[in-house]
């Protein structure tokens, strides 16, 4: 939408009192994938992810949670950092077998082969492959004598995402990165920006904070979700945990889920195979909702494969807040058992706004932008007169009507017979300078957000 916004600007303010179509239902998983030769790959099931990651990897576990619901999202994107070093290990020595290493980047592909001879061991084969890569490609290697591992580093001037592929007698081990998170996400978005949700499989607090900061200013809009089991989060005396910091920053593009299961992943390598990846499960539960048809609250949702946490009253109130108004909480969501049902609580971003409101405003902005831009493209021109202004007005009204139909907006009779109000200046009320620059501005609208019922109070009396 970035280039469209140079032509069409829709500015929607959320009053305190009151992408492509498919993109809103797509999540991007951020990871480090040394085998990728592009920044982004697309998957339609967890089984598809096994083509590039093994069944014990955090990528597969996160994808399994995301695709877990009976009605699952159609697509998952996995986006990758650029690796600064990839460790490769020779796991078996087979005389007469050929060992291959293929390195591909944005401009070149290099193939290295070594034929094992009698007396070769994984150590000698690793040494030979490291030497062949260093002498036959611009990539450098590090090899420690006596080891069956060798490490590959890209040249400084590498173009695009580089990736490495090994034969079945070798495997990729630990990979490292030096690339900044904002740089990686920017490169991913440059390659493919048709996604709305963002999550990472790693529980590194620094990485989470960097993703949250990037999402807050991303264009087009993004929604970042994370899980953490950091014991400081449900502690009311702690103020430097992620939930407290994000709340203090007023982040509207980040939501968190406290999960005790994720606590074991808070040290390097920042993941464990017992992590239920609750945020992926939550995205997977909510993203099949077609915002052009209906809207839904994120609260009360049961998440496949995620167990409810047993929280003390203090922990629960610290995360959520006290009472129907959630007073004093850290705006951190949790997953608990209420009345025998395991449900997500409270469905908010760090600022305290509800996730469905943020998504609804993003949807309204996107549809108005697309509609006005489409009118400009599909007409020879939209004249700068009252008739042309009516064309723009009709698009705004159509989207607002759809917003009422999907129940993101509610019909408010006080705003007119359509349930909303649109203010339209006549051509003579616009500035001459704006007409000369062909820049129409001054149209306004007012609609009421429908919201959702999250708590009730019923009072009455009975008599004999």
Question: What one-character-per-residue DSSP string does 295-306 give?
Answer: ---STT---TT-
Residues of the chain above pLDDT 90, percent? 84
Q: The tokens of 428 are what?
A: 């003579």
- Helix or strand run (H / E) with residue 255: strand 254-258
Whole-number Å distance between alpha carbons of 210 and 216: 10
Instruction: Indicate if the pLDDT at residue 364 is higher than 70.
Output: yes
Averaged pLDDT for residues 157-183: 93
Task: Please indicate, yes or no, whether residues 48 and 97 belong to a single structural domain of this protein.
Answer: no
Task: Please indicate, yes or no, whether residues 95 and 172 belong to a single structural domain of this protein.
Answer: yes
Whole-number Å distance between alpha carbons of 169 and 101: 11
State the pLDDT at residue 271: 80
- Residue environment code for 227-255, b if the CB has 16+ CB neighbours within 10 A, otherwise e: bbbbeebbeeeeeebbbbbbbeeebbbbb
The answer to whether 311 touches 294, Cβ cutoff 8 Å, is: no
For residue 345, what are the β-bridge partners? 334
φ, ψ of residue 421 in degrees (nearest 5): -125, 135
Beta strand 254-258 pairing with 223-228: parallel
Whole-number Å distance between alpha carbons of 249 and 252: 9
What's the CA dihedral at 88, 90, 91, 95 to 10 degrees? 160
424 vs 107: which has the higher pLDDT: 424
Residues 6 or more apart in contact with residue 463 via CB below 8 angstroms: none
Instruction: Indicate if the pLDDT at residue 362 is higher than 50.
Output: yes
- Would you say residue 418 lies in a domain? no
- Confidence (pTM): 0.91
- Would you say residue 188 lies in a domain? yes
DSSP letter string, 14-78: --S----TGGGG-EEEEE--TT-SSSEEEESSHHHHTTTS-TTSHHHHHHHHHT-SSS--S-EEE
Averaged pLDDT for residues 105-113: 93
- Would you say residue 31 lies in a domain? yes
Would you say the C-alpha torsion 303, 307, 308, 311 has a positive or negative sign? negative
The answer to whether 227 touches 256, Cβ cutoff 8 Å, is: yes
Residues 6 or more apart in contact with residue 341 via CB below 8 angstroms: 302
Task: Please indicate, yes or no, whether residues 133 and 95 belong to a single structural domain of this protein.
Answer: yes
Q: Cis check for the bond before 269: say yes or no (omega within 30 of 0).
A: yes
15 band by pLDDT with thresholds 50, 70 and 90: very low
Averaged pLDDT for residues 202-216: 96
Averaged pLDDT for residues 347-357: 97
Whole-number Å distance between alpha carbons of 16 and 355: 15
Instruction: Indicate if the pLDDT at residue 8 is higher than 70.
Output: no
- Helix or strand run (H / E) with residue 233: none
Instruction: Indicate if the pLDDT at residue 41 is higher than 90.
Output: yes
Task: Please indicate, yes or no, whether residues 256 and 334 belong to a single structural domain of this protein.
Answer: yes
Of 355, 376, 394, which residue sits at a domain end? 355
Whole-number Å distance between alpha carbons of 309 and 335: 6
Averaged pLDDT for residues 358-386: 92
Of 287, 321, 355, which residue sits at a domain end? 355
- Would you say residue 213 lies in a domain? yes
Task: Please indicate, yes or no, whether residues 337 and 193 belong to a single structural domain of this protein.
Answer: yes
Task: Please indicate, yes or no, whether residues 38 and 184 belong to a single structural domain of this protein.
Answer: yes
Closest by alpha carbon to 53, among 69, 71, 29? 29
Task: Please indicate, yes or no, whether residues 61 and 152 belong to a single structural domain of this protein.
Answer: no
Task: Please indicate, yes or no, whether residues 8 and 147 belong to a single structural domain of this protein.
Answer: no
- Would you say residue 135 lies in a domain? yes
Q: What mean pLDDT value characterizes the chain?
A: 92
Instruction: Indicate if the pLDDT at residue 138 is higher than 60.
Output: yes
State the pLDDT at residue 16: 38
Q: Which region, left, alpha or beta, applies to residue 407 given φ > 0 means left and ψ of -120 to 50 means alpha?
A: left
Whole-number Å distance between alpha carbons of 144 and 82: 24
- Would you say residue 121 lies in a domain? yes
State the pLDDT at residue 462: 84
287 band by pLDDT with thresholds 50, 70 and 90: very high
- Would you say residue 419 lies in a domain? no
Task: Please indicate, yes or no, whether residues 194 and 170 belong to a single structural domain of this protein.
Answer: no
Averaged pLDDT for residues 82-100: 97
Instruction: Indicate if the pLDDT at residue 13 is higher than 90.
Output: no
State the pLDDT at residue 12: 53
Whole-number Å distance between alpha carbons of 230 and 265: 9
Residues 6 or more apart in contact with residue 2 via CB below 8 angstroms: 193, 219, 220
Whole-number Å distance between alpha carbons of 252 and 216: 7
Tell me which residue range forms the domain holding 164: 85-176
The answer to whether 263 touches 230, Cβ cutoff 8 Å, is: yes
Averaged pLDDT for residues 225-248: 96
**Poorest-confidence range of 136-140, 162-166, 193-197, 270-274?**
270-274
- Would you say residue 376 lies in a domain? no
Instruction: Indicate if the pLDDT at residue 18 is higher than 70.
Output: no
Is residue 362 classed exposed, middle or buried when 0-12, 13-18 and 19+ CB atoms within 10 A define those classes? buried
Task: Please indicate, yes or no, whether residues 50 and 188 belong to a single structural domain of this protein.
Answer: yes
φ, ψ of residue 267 in degrees (nearest 5): -130, 160
CA-based diameter of the chain, in Å?
Answer: 100
DSSP letter string, 338-378: ETTEEEEE--B-TTS-BHHHHHHHHHHHHHHHHHHHHHHHH
- Helix or strand run (H / E) with residue 209: helix 205-217
Averaged pLDDT for residues 438-447: 92
Averaged pLDDT for residues 107-111: 94
Residues 6 or more apart in contact with residue 280 via CB below 8 angstroms: 27, 29, 62, 63, 65, 66, 199
Of 329, 355, 381, which residue sits at a domain end? 355
Q: How many domains does the chain have?
A: 2
Task: Please indicate, yes or no, whether residues 327 and 313 belong to a single structural domain of this protein.
Answer: yes
Whole-number Å distance between alpha carbons of 248 and 211: 16
SS3 371: helix
Instruction: Indicate if the pLDDT at residue 14 is higher than 80.
Output: no
State the pLDDT at residue 159: 81
Task: Please indicate, yes or no, whether residues 285 and 138 belong to a single structural domain of this protein.
Answer: no
State the pLDDT at residue 9: 58
Whole-number Å distance between alpha carbons of 287 and 274: 24
Averaged pLDDT for residues 122-134: 98
Instruction: Indicate if the pLDDT at residue 17 is higher than 70.
Output: no
**Poorest-confidence range of 166-175, 228-237, 262-271, 285-294?**
262-271
Closest by alpha carbon to 24, among 234, 191, 195? 195
């Amino acid at each position: 939408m970035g280039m469209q916004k140079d032509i069409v600007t829709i500015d929607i303010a959320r009053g305190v009192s009151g992408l492509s179509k498919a993109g809103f239902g797509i999540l991007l998983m951020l990871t480090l994938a040394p085998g990728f030769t592009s920044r982004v790959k697309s998957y339609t099931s967890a089984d598809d992810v096994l083509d590039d990651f093994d069944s014990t990897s955090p990528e597969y576990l996160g994808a399994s949670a995301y695709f877990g619901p009976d009605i699952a999202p159609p697509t998952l994107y996995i986006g990758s950092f650029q690796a600064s070093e990839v460790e490769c290990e020779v796991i078996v020595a087979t005389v007469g077998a050929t060992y291959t290493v293929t390195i591909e980047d944005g401009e070149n592909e290099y193939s290295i082969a070594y034929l094992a001879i009698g007396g070769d061991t994984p150590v000698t084969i690793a040494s030979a492959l490291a030497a062949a890569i260093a002498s036959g490609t611009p990539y450098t290697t590090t090899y420690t004598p006596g080891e069956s591992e060798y490490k590959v580093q890209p040249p400084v001037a590498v173009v695009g995402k580089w990736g490495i592929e090994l034969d079945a007698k070798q495997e990729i081990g630990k990979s490292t990165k030096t690339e900044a998170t904002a740089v990686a996400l920017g490169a991913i978005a440059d390659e493919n920006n048709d996604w709305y949700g963002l999550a990472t499989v790693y529980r590194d607090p620094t990485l989470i904070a960097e993703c949250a900061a990037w999402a807050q200013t991303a264009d087009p809009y993004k929604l970042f979700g994370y899980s953490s089991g950091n014991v400081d989060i449900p502690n009311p005396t702690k103020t430097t945990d992620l939930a407290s910091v994000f709340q203090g920053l007023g982040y509207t593009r980040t939501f968190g889920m406290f999960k005790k299961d994720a606590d074991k992943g808070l040290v390097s390598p920042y993941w464990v195979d017992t992590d239920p990846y609750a945020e992926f499960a939550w995205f997977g539960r909510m993203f099949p909702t077609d915002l052009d048809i209906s809207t839904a609250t994120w609260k009360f949702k049961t998440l496949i494969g995620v167990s409810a946490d047993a929280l003390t009253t203090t922990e629960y109130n610290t995360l959520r807040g006290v009472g129907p108004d959630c007073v004093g909480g850290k705006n951190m969501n949790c997953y608990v058992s209420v009345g025998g049902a395991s449900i997500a609580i409270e469905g908010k971003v760090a600022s305290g706004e509800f996730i469905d409101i943020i998504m609804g405003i993003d949807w309204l902005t996107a549809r108005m932008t697309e509609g006005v831009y489409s009118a400009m493209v599909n007409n020879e021109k939209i004249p700068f007169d009252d008739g042309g202004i009516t064309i723009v007005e009709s698009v705004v009204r159509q989207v607002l009507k759809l917003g009422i139909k999907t129940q993101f907006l509610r019909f408010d009779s006080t705003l007119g017979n359509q349930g909303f109000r649109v203010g339209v200046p006549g051509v003579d009320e616009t500035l001459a300078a704006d007409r000369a620059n062909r820049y129409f501005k001054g149209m306004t609208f007012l609609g009421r957000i429908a919201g959702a019922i999250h708590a009730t109070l019923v009072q009455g009396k009975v008599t004999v």
